[in-house]
């Protein structure tokens, strides 16, 4: 099997995104989001903990706010994931992770089902972390899951007291769950992990 990878360019009047993604990993990642510091940090964590190579250059109308950039990066990553997965033959399909981040505990569960559903219980305790609008956490994950056609459940199990920790725990938990879901199962003989025969 060759490398499962995708390249995507997405340009609108609000954002410009160039993205390369490889599910096999090993080459590393480089992420530039045009000055969106906290979001950049979260994407670094996503790439690092998922084991997915991600080369991303993105710019958006941050003079307005971070909505368009965060949404469109989520769409781009989800679209690239779907393309790189192809027909999904041989993958594990499901992945889950429970991740602590200091006093916070978060859970993520992924099903690469070909159907979209997003359920989360994150409720921001303040409006911003650094330059990032906390209301965009759910919107980022919903945008990504919709474009990737996955089921994604995210839960904060222990809220803790720090907003940065809550968001970081969610990104890390998602990354670890995604890592498990895209993994090739050596015992599957390349079959589609569904009784329908298609995902």
pLDDT tens across 50-63, in order?
A: 999 999 999 999 99
Distance CA 106, CA 159 (A): 8
Yes or no: say if 74 and 144 are a contact pair by the CB < 8 Å rule: yes
pLDDT of residue 25: 86
Taking each helix axis from N to C end, the angle separating 37-50 and 67-85, rounded to the nearest 10 degrees, works out to: 20
pLDDT of residue 189: 84
Q: Mean pLDDT for the chain?
A: 97
Distance CA 147, CA 83 (A): 10
Q: Which domains are present in the chain?
A: 5-182 (3.30.230.40)
pLDDT of residue 26: 84
pLDDT beneath 70, residues of the chain: 1
Which parts of the chain fold into alpha helices (H)? 37-50, 67-85, 136-148, 163-182
pLDDT of residue 100: 98
Which pTM was predicted?
A: 0.97
pLDDT of residue 1: 66
* Residue 166, both tokens: 């809550």
* Residue 62, both tokens: 């941050």
Yes or no: say if 15 and 61 are a contact pair by the CB < 8 Å rule: yes
Burial of 155 (0-12, 13-18, 19+ CB in 10 A): middle
């Amino acid at each position: 099997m060759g490398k499962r990878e995708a390249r995507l360019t997405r340009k609108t009047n609000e954002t410009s995104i160039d993205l390369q993604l490889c599910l096999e990993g090993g080459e590393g990642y480089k992420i530039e989001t045009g000055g969106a510091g906290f979001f950049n940090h979260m994407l670094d964590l996503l790439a690092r903990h998922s084991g997915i190579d991600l080369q991303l250059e993105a710019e958006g109308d941050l003079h307005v706010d971070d909505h368009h950039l965060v949404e469109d990066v989520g769409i781009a990553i989800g679209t690239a994931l779907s393309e790189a997965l192809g027909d999904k033959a041989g993958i594990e399909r499901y992945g889950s992770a429970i991740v602590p981040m200091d006093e916070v505990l978060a859970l993520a569960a992924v099903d690469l089902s070909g159907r979209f559903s997003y359920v989360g219980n994150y409720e921001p305790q303040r409006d911003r972390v650094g330059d990032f609008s906390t209301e965009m956490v759910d919107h980022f994950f919903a945008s990504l899951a919709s474009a990737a056609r996955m089921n994604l459940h995210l839960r904060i199990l222990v809220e803790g007291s720090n907003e940065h920790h809550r968001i970081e725990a969610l990104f890390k938990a998602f990354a670890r769950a995604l890592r498990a879901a895209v993994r090739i199962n050596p015992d599957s003989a390349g079959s589609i992990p569904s009784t329908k025969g298609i995902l």
